[in-house]
Amino acid sequence: MEQQENAEPVKTGRLKISDKPTTESHREYLDMDTDEEEFGHQETPEPQDEAPPEPDKPVFTGAELDTLVKYTKELTVLPNLQDDSWSQEVEETIREYFRDPTKTILTVFFSKTQELQALLDFPEQTHGGLTYFLRKPWQVYRADDFLSSVTFGSVGDRIELTAIKFVGGVYAPMAFKSGDWPEITRDEIFSNINDFLTRAIDVTYKPMGILVLYVPWEGCAEQEKQHPDMERESVTRIQRQKERALLINRLEKVARTWIKQIREVLMISSFNSQELHDVAGEFDFWQCRYENLACISRQLQHDRLLQIIKQLKKVKSSSIKDLKLLVSRVKSALEETKSNLGCLYLVLQICKSFDNWNQIQECLPRILHAIRFVWTTSPYYNKSENIERLLCSLSIHVVKICKSSINLKLIFDDPKKCRECLASSISCCEAYSKIYDSITENCKLNETNWSVDKAVIFNSIGAFELRCRDVSEICDTIIIYGSLNKISIGGTRGNQHEMEYRRVMDYFLQMTNEMRLCCEYALDITRIKWFQDISNFRCDVAELESTVKNLLNSLFEDVKNVEMGVETLYTLLKFKERQGFQDILHDKWTQVWELFYDEMKICSLPPTNVEMVADKVKFSQSEDALVSQIHKSYLTRLHKILVNASDWLGDCDVQFEVPAKYLRTKMNN
């Protein structure tokens, strides 16, 4: 106590104390080390600063926890949330949040499996948004004050929209009105807020096809009067002018962003040339454009935006002239869009009645006459490139109608029926071309400025016809190879031929399975991958046909008589429908007739000269009549077989020569 009381005098009388004799510092150090009484004595370490102990966790009764869980459920807002969505696991997580004040975050959300979950942190991914509850560390919620002290909120599925609403609607107005920002960083902070919201709004709404202009909360006359710095007497006139100049620069930057964004919207006057849309798509485009332009027009009349423009007018900003011009262009584009929607609605209503390819003769002339009316009345569609695009949309509509009438599953289930549908669609496209030519011929005669490129208009029609023929080619292949059953081939090499035939069928099945997936988009003219698929298919078919031709030639190496030849040709009759097999089958058919001709030559010899080599027997003169009758019956039977086979194998050159010789032989006998 004495030392504490004398502490202050020591400070004031420092010089007096220094006059007293003191022990030398090195002497004191030596004395301390050699003192026998203090030798071996351990010094007590000074106590270190320890962290204060954590408070005890709160204790809740069961009823109080149930009340807090009930309040949490009532404050949770999620789409499709039902009373039965809450599980015991979720409720237990909520109780843990209240029991442990170190947990500052509680989130409730739906998982991908539509299962309600609770987490004491923010989840990596949610489905449909989440509801969050926040608090400071060791802040204890009680049932009696929970509703008045809780901090909570909901975040939608689009997190960026929530961020924009929070920053733009809550944080930004408070930041702009606050006078606590350091003067040296205020302009940078305000500029960063404007840049962030401008980019966030553009990235969020631009993919939706909507232009939303960011309007800052600064620049309003009312706000300027209430600015704290303007009310302080210490703020000089120079500081005010500097603050005003920085504000104008920020508003000028925002206005330039508006000009750039509006110009981009006005430049989009048509579809991307690589995209294909029907008449309904053209109508939807202009309807979306009308809504976007109307939205821009309403935004340009917003009070805060007009106040900012007023501020820029006072300083004669260069942006004002561009903004006035853009306002006029938006109004003009809005009127043009409204006119185009009226014209397209007329065409679209007629197109809706055309939903089947059988109606082409009835509906297409009406549609083309309606387009001709639009061309003569609409200032926009009176231009060649615009009316040409509308006609291209009609071609896409025709393609969609034809495509909807074709069931691609029938390629493998019922290829003949599928081929008939493809032929009908091709006929529909050809009829469309004829109707177009007949109507546009009058346009060329009566209207001098009608100038459209038919090749461009029918580009999609031609591509669709080509796809139909490709699919029809696949159907032909499946009809031929898919209808082949297991065959039984005789002869000394019958087993070898049957094995080769099975390899052909296995290869065909493998090729068919590969084409099943490709055929799903066979008629989609926008899928260019089809060209590679059909090219691979044709290569496989060519290899398959080469194998079958080799098999056919190998089979005929064992053919020694007419009956075996006809039987072999009948086995391979299905291949006749393929163009590549017609020549080789014709040659083999001719070869069978030549075998018949050889039989005729043998039978036409005098019976006495005929030697049956196999039995080593010579007929006597008395048996000539019987042998002649046998030859005649034999040739008659062979001839009948060949004539009957001609019904399904067709005619050949030798066929007309051999029967004449056969008749002469028959008459001679």
pLDDT tens digit string along 481-504?
A: 776 555 555 555 667 777 777 887
Work out the pLDDT band at 442, boundaries 50, 70, 90.
Answer: confident
pLDDT attached to residue 307: 92
Per-residue pLDDT averaged across 301-317, rounded?
91
pLDDT attached to residue 572: 66
Question: What are the DSSP calls for 118-144, one per residue?
Answer: EESS--S--SS-EEEEE--TTPPP-TT
SS3 108: strand
Residues 538 and 425: their CA atoms lie apart, in Å, by 23
pLDDT attached to residue 614: 43
Residues 642 and 561: their CA atoms lie apart, in Å, by 12
Instruction: Tell me the two tokens of residue 43.
Output: 């010094």
Residue 342 pLDDT greater than 70, yes or no: yes
Instruction: Tell me the two tokens of residue 667.
Output: 């008459």
Residues 146 and 65: their CA atoms lie apart, in Å, by 11
Work out the pLDDT band at 230, boundaries 50, 70, 90.
Answer: very low
Nearest to 281 by CA among 164, 399, 163, 192: 399
Out of 365-369, 413-417, 438-442, pick the least confident: 438-442
Residues 448 and 442: their CA atoms lie apart, in Å, by 11
Residues 140 and 145: their CA atoms lie apart, in Å, by 10
Work out the pLDDT band at 664, boundaries 50, 70, 90.
Answer: low
Per-residue pLDDT averaged across 466-473, rounded?
94
Per-residue pLDDT averaged across 519-542, rounded?
91
Give the residue with greater pLDDT, 281 vs 651: 281
pLDDT attached to residue 8: 40
- What's the alpha-carbon Rg for the chain, to the nearest Å? 48
Residue 212 pLDDT greater than 90, yes or no: yes
Give the residue with greater pLDDT, 574 vs 117: 117
Answer whether 433's CB lies under 8 Å from 490's CB.
Answer: no
Nearest to 116 by CA among 103, 131, 105: 131
Distances (CA, A) of 346 to 203, 213, 480: 36, 34, 48
Nearest to 489 by CA among 554, 586, 581: 554
Taking the C-alpha atoms of 192, 195, 198 and 200 in order, what is their torsion angle to the nearest 10 degrees? -70
C-alpha dihedral sign at 638, 644, 650, 655: positive
pLDDT attached to residue 224: 46
Answer whether 562's CB lies under 8 Å from 624's CB.
Answer: no
Instruction: Tell me the two tokens of residue 576.
Output: 């006749």
pLDDT attached to residue 126: 82
Look up residue 45 and give its DSSP letter. Answer: P
Look up residue 53 and give its DSSP letter. Answer: P
Residue 346 pLDDT greater than 90, yes or no: yes
pLDDT attached to residue 657: 63
Residues 202 and 210: their CA atoms lie apart, in Å, by 9
**Amino acid in the structure at residue 653:** D
pLDDT attached to residue 244: 87
Work out the pLDDT band at 422, boundaries 50, 70, 90.
Answer: very high
Bridge partners of residue 618, in order along the sequence: 611
Residues 79 and 14: their CA atoms lie apart, in Å, by 78
Answer whether 402's CB lies under 8 Å from 356's CB.
Answer: no
**Amino acid in the structure at residue 190:** F
pLDDT in tens, 33-81: 444 444 344 444 555 555 556 667 888 899 999 999 999 999 999 988 9
Per-residue pLDDT averaged across 642-657, rounded?
68
Q: CB neighbours of 340 closer than 8 A, spacing ≥ 6? A: 286, 378, 380, 381
Burial of 126 (0-12, 13-18, 19+ CB in 10 A): buried
Instruction: Tell me the two tokens of residue 310.
Output: 């007023």
Distances (CA, A) of 295 to 194, 288, 298, 299, 551: 21, 11, 5, 6, 73
pLDDT attached to residue 25: 42
Residues 553 and 547: their CA atoms lie apart, in Å, by 10
Bridge partners of residue 106, in order along the sequence: 133
pLDDT in tens, 11-35: 434 333 344 444 444 444 334 444 4
pLDDT attached to residue 607: 54
Residues 327 and 255: their CA atoms lie apart, in Å, by 13
Answer whether 107's CB lies under 8 Å from 130's CB.
Answer: yes
Nearest to 573 by CA among 562, 581, 561: 581
Nearest to 58 by CA among 149, 144, 139: 139
Instruction: Tell me the two tokens of residue 212.
Output: 């939303």
In the chain, how many H helices and how many E strands?
28, 6
C-alpha dihedral sign at 615, 620, 622, 625: positive
Element housing 417 (H / E):
helix 415-446
Out of 227-231, 245-249, 434-438, 467-471, pick the least confident: 227-231
Give the residue with greater pLDDT, 271 vs 189: 189
**Amino acid in the structure at residue 435:** I
Q: Taking the complete model, does pTM exceed 0.85, yes or no?
A: no
Answer whether 383's CB lies under 8 Å from 402's CB.
Answer: no
pLDDT attached to residue 112: 86
Q: For the chain, how far is it from start to end, CA to CA, in angstroms?
A: 162
Out of 99-113, 351-365, 495-509, pick the least confident: 495-509
Answer whether 515's CB lies under 8 Å from 537's CB.
Answer: yes
Residues 344 and 370: their CA atoms lie apart, in Å, by 9
By residue count, the chain amounts to: 669
Element housing 611 (H / E):
strand 611-612
pLDDT attached to residue 190: 93
Residues 291 and 277: their CA atoms lie apart, in Å, by 19
Element housing 592 (H / E):
helix 579-604
Bridge partners of residue 134, in order along the sequence: 105, 151
Answer whether 351's CB lies under 8 Å from 369's CB.
Answer: no
Residues 117 and 121: their CA atoms lie apart, in Å, by 12
Residue 467 pLDDT greater than 50, yes or no: yes
Residue 188 pLDDT greater than 60, yes or no: yes
Instruction: Tell me the two tokens of residue 496.
Output: 């070898």
Residue 423 pLDDT greater than 90, yes or no: yes
pLDDT attached to residue 96: 94
pLDDT in tens, 575-627: 666 666 666 677 777 777 777 767 776 776 655 444 444 444 454 445 666 76
Residues 28 and 574: their CA atoms lie apart, in Å, by 123
What average pLDDT does the structure give for the chain?
Answer: 79
Distances (CA, A) of 42 to 34, 38, 45, 124: 15, 9, 9, 57
Half-sphere exposure of 164 (CA within 13 A, CB side): 20
Out of 309-318, 401-410, 439-448, pick the least confident: 439-448
Look up residue 102 and give its DSSP letter. Answer: T
